[in-house]
Copies of this chain bind each other. A is one copy, B any other.
Amino acid sequence: MEPTAAIIIIGSEVLSGRTQDENIQYLAKRLSELGIRLKEVRIIGDEEPAIISAAQELSAAYAYVFTTGGLGFTHDDRTAVSLAHAFGTRVQEHPEALRLLQEYYGDALNEARRRMALIPMGAILIDNPVSKAPAFQIQNVFALAGIPCVMQVMFEGLVGRITKGKPIQFATVNCQLPEGIIADSLAKIQNSHPAVEIGSYPYFSSGVLGVNLVLRGTDKNLIQKAMVDVVQMVRDLGGTPVVEEEK
């Protein structure tokens, strides 16, 4: 079985509609490439009770949890304290985190910035090559920065610590048949290829109605076999299948 994961986006600014999240898709794509199955994403506000309950629930349910946001040192950054409380501990100044901040800020290391060295007890640091203040891992929860470019380098730096599965492979068959025509034949194909997950995603684009039939699985050969059937189905129903294979 492939390892499972969840993401918690900690950000009132996303909930208010002011900011479009950019971290979900990056993490979703990378986890898929690493063979880790993303089962759930939650977006919550910067509030301690919400962070605690999401962290406790998801860390018990899945192999890995990744959080983004709330790691700074302004009054609305609550992630470190909340995750510490979620796991029955508290934050304390981490000597190595403090050393990194001293090295980076020198004399500009004021009280506020020094708060970035407050890490839950027992947590392991996650490297931050961009702005030095480290993120951290507590149990199976990885608390990452919210700024996309910082989050991404943190994630790539911790990838070595986690157990991977077989990369998830995709193939897409696009056609301009309406879903109503293909639904029943497609269900039969799904039933005869249980190791491949077949999704049907209709769209309207520039006045054209079409559907992407996406085949997903960890075995390329089985995907190929299911794809042959899907392509044949589209032809039999009078459509023109356009095949796109992705990794």
Give chain A's interface residues, CB within 8 Å of chain B: 12-21, 24-32, 38-46, 50, 72-77, 105, 108, 110-113, 115, 130, 147, 149-150, 168, 170, 179-184, 186-187, 190, 197-204, 214, 216
Contact = CB atoms under 8 A, between A and B. Distances in A.
Nearest to A184: B112
Contacts of A32: 16-17
A4 B195 CA distance: 40
A75 B12 contact: no
Given A13-B201, A18-B170, A72-B179, A39 B28 contact: no
A41 B42 contact: yes
B111 A197 contact: no
A20 B16 contact: no
Given A72-B202, A76-B198, 8 more contacts: A13-B201, A16-B168, A17-B29, A17-B32, A112-B183, A147-B202, A147-B204, A150-B204
Chain B CB count within 10 A is highest, among A18, A31, A203, for A18
Nearest to A172: B18
B110 A216 contact: no
Nearest to A211: B74
Across chains A and B, which 4 residue pairs bring their CB atoms closest together, nearest first?
A: A17-B29, A17-B28, A112-B183, A41-B43
A28 B18 CA distance: 8
Contact of A183 (B16, B44, B75): B75
B179 A19 contact: no
Nearest to A105: B180
A180 B110 contact: yes
A113 B38 CA distance: 31
Chain B CB count within 10 A is highest, among A32, A41, A46, for A41
28 contacts: A12-B197, A12-B199, A13-B214, A14-B41, A15-B28, A16-B32, A16-B168, A16-B170, A17-B29, A19-B201, A40-B44, A41-B41, A42-B42, A42-B43, A73-B179, A74-B186, A74-B187, A75-B186, A76-B199, A77-B200, A108-B180, A110-B180, A110-B181, A112-B181, A113-B183, A130-B204, A147-B202, A147-B203
